[in-house]
Amino acid sequence: MSEKKFNLIKNCETQEETLVEFTAEEYAQAEANALALAEAESRRQAEAEALEALKVSARAKLVAGQPLTAEEAATLVL
Amino acid sequence: MTMKLISVTEISGSVSATFSSIPSIYTDLMILCSLRDNGAGAYHNLYLKFNGSAANYSNMHLYGNGSAADWSSSASEYLGNIVTGNSSTANTFSNIQIYVPDYATSKQKPFSYNGVTENNSSAAFFAFGSSLWANTAAINSFTIGNNSDAFSTGSTVSIYGITKGSGGASVA
């Protein structure tokens, strides 16, 4: 069984605190949000790795005097 | 200028925390968080919703981890991976500051934030952001959370009300 999720509600005027379990709708929304975030993070990491690979290749080719592809050239800051 | 503590709250055991009935008597709000959650991974994303709303946000932020820095823009309530996760070094927490000027006015609400996770390895994360909540309602509550995993023992949120000075004179 999945762990229960709670929202803590703090009244800043009275300082009273209440722990309220998520509603069914909140559980569903949290799951959907978590999935979307995980996918976005995977994409971000994949893009960052691809960019780093292009930069590494571009540097190596510059040193070796070899022509760069358009994608590798685009990683240079001029 | 004066700075008054409104509340300090430990939010351990909750996946989100809502701070309501925020007094409207101050000029600006400053929110300081020290956060860690029980989820696997070195860091997790944190969301911030004013008055329960997940709409009309725009963010621009600079971020980095142990090996690269980048920037991004988004139209969501998420601030970035600034919650230390349970795979980070034990007993470490992220440091987060959120500043909301003119929170109780009938203007749109720009705000800034910065956050950094703590981890004794290369997998740490920081983010500096400039954001806008395009809503003219006075802010009387906000919710922070991460969707999935409960905040760990010791995770705290402190809220300060900042009152502007007048005429350049110091105000007690």
DSSP A4: P
- B19 burial type by CB count under 10 A (0-12 exposed, 13-18 middle, 19+ buried): buried
Token readout for B156 is 């705290």
Q: Which residues contact B147 (CB under 8 A, 6 or more apart)?
A: A30, A31, A33, A34, A37, B15, B45, B47
* Any B CB within 8 A of A2 CB: no
Identify which has the larger pLDDT, B171 or A68. Answer: A68
Token readout for B32 is 């300081």
Beta carbons of B13 and A14 less than 8 Å apart: no
Task: Pick from B15, B46, B47, B144 the residue to mutate for testing the A interface (most A CBs within 10 Å).
Answer: B15
The edge-to-edge listing of strands for the beta sheet with A6-11 is A17-21, A6-11, B16-20, B142-145, B43-50, B78-84
Convert the pLDDT of each residue in A23-72 to its tens digit.
999 999 888 888 888 888 888 888 888 988 999 999 999 999 999 999 99
Report pLDDT for A1: 46
- A32 burial type by CB count under 10 A (0-12 exposed, 13-18 middle, 19+ buried): exposed
Rounded percentage of chain B residues whose pLDDT exceeds 90: 74
Measure B136 CA to nearest chain A CA, in Å.
22
- pTM equals 0.88
Report pLDDT for B86: 94
Identify which has the larger pLDDT, B167 or B68. Answer: B68
Token readout for B124 is 């740490």
User: Taking a C-beta distance cutoff of 8 angstroms, is the pair B107, B136 a contact?
Assistant: yes
- Other Cβ atoms within 10 Å of B135 Cβ, number: 16
Find chain B residues with C-beta within 8 A of A17's C-beta.
9
Find chain A residues with C-beta within 8 A of B18's C-beta.
7-10
Q: Name the interface residues of B facing A (CB cutoff 8 Å).
A: 6-7, 9, 11, 13-23, 45, 47, 67-68, 70, 72, 78, 81, 143, 145, 147-148, 150, 159
Among A9-18, B89-98, B121-130, the minimum mean pLDDT is found in B121-130
Report pLDDT for B169: 59
Report pLDDT for A13: 96
Report pLDDT for B172: 58
